[in-house]
Chain A
């Protein structure tokens, strides 16, 4: 199956700093990428959907200026948590689809990034 990687797998940062998380599709072109957030023992919540070359579509309640998403190429999307605070500590998971946000049957998940803000 298709492989999606995330880097870093875990990161600890100080409050007020920014953190960038990368999501890469290694063996296919991802026209659509999704970013999820998962709090401990809870479900995945979609934060935003990004199509290559266009602005991300954020879910209601997600701050665009705080969670900057860039999908500049067909194999790379980045999520930048700006001015991170302890409440941003969470598990962030990306996924990638190889068709223009059509068949989520072909959505592949990355291994996730655990962010801890101190």
Chain B
């Protein structure tokens, strides 16, 4: 069984500072994918960044980067120069293949990030 762990239920960060949100995972599959999503108070899930297990380089998307340490099974999200609009819930998720051959996402418990002006 796969597992996603986010150990930070909440974080407060000063505006313009960088922030790292932790995510560790557990899987025996050699092929997997890791996702980060942002969920503002309105509820919609916003895709931020993706890292495949075979990707050689860490993924980056604008102010978002993923610190992928395969040996440690961690996929931390780094947000540079945080903004007030970054205040939201952040979920780490992993792709897994079900017994029926479908793919699905398993989500972590999330981290609530609050940016302080």
Residue ranges of A at the interface with B (Cβ–Cβ < 8 Å): 32, 34, 42-46, 49, 51, 57, 91, 93, 95, 101-102, 104-105, 107-112, 114
Main secondary structure, interface of B, reads strand
- How far does the alpha carbon of A71 sit from the alpha carbon of B56 in the complex, in Å? 37
28 contacts between A and B (CB under 8 A): A34-B105, A42-B109, A42-B110, A43-B108, A43-B109, A45-B107, A46-B106, A49-B100, A49-B102, A49-B104, A51-B102, A57-B100, A91-B43, A93-B43, A93-B45, A101-B101, A101-B103, A102-B103, A104-B103, A104-B104, A104-B105, A105-B50, A109-B44, A109-B46, A109-B47, A111-B42, A111-B43, A111-B44
Q: Say yes or no: A57-B102 contact (C-beta < 8 A), given A42-B109, A104-B33, A104-B35.
A: yes
Which residues of chain B are near A45, meaning CB under 8 Å? Answer: 107
Complex interface: chain A residues within 8 A of B105 (CB): 34, 44, 46, 104, 107
A114 and B43 in contact, given A57-B100, A101-B103, A104-B105 (Cβ under 8 angstroms): yes
Residue of A nearest to B6 (CB): A43
- Chain A interface SS verdict (over half): strand
The tally of CB-CB contacts under 8 A between chains A and B is 58
A45 to B4, CA, bound (A): 13
Interface set of B (CB-CB < 8 Å, partner A): 33, 35, 37, 42-47, 50, 91, 95, 98, 100-110
Q: A34 near B104 (CB under 8 angstroms)?
A: yes
Check A43–B33 contact: CB distance below 8 A. Answer: no
Specify which chain A residues have a CB less than 8 angstroms from the CB of B100 in the assembled complex: 49, 57
Cα–Cα, bound, A51→B43 (Å): 25
A95 touches B102 (CB 8 A): no
Complex partner residue of B104 from A46, A91, A111, CB under 8 angstroms: A46
Residue of chain A at shortest CB distance from B109: A43
Q: Which residues of A contact B44 (CB under 8 A)?
A: 109-112
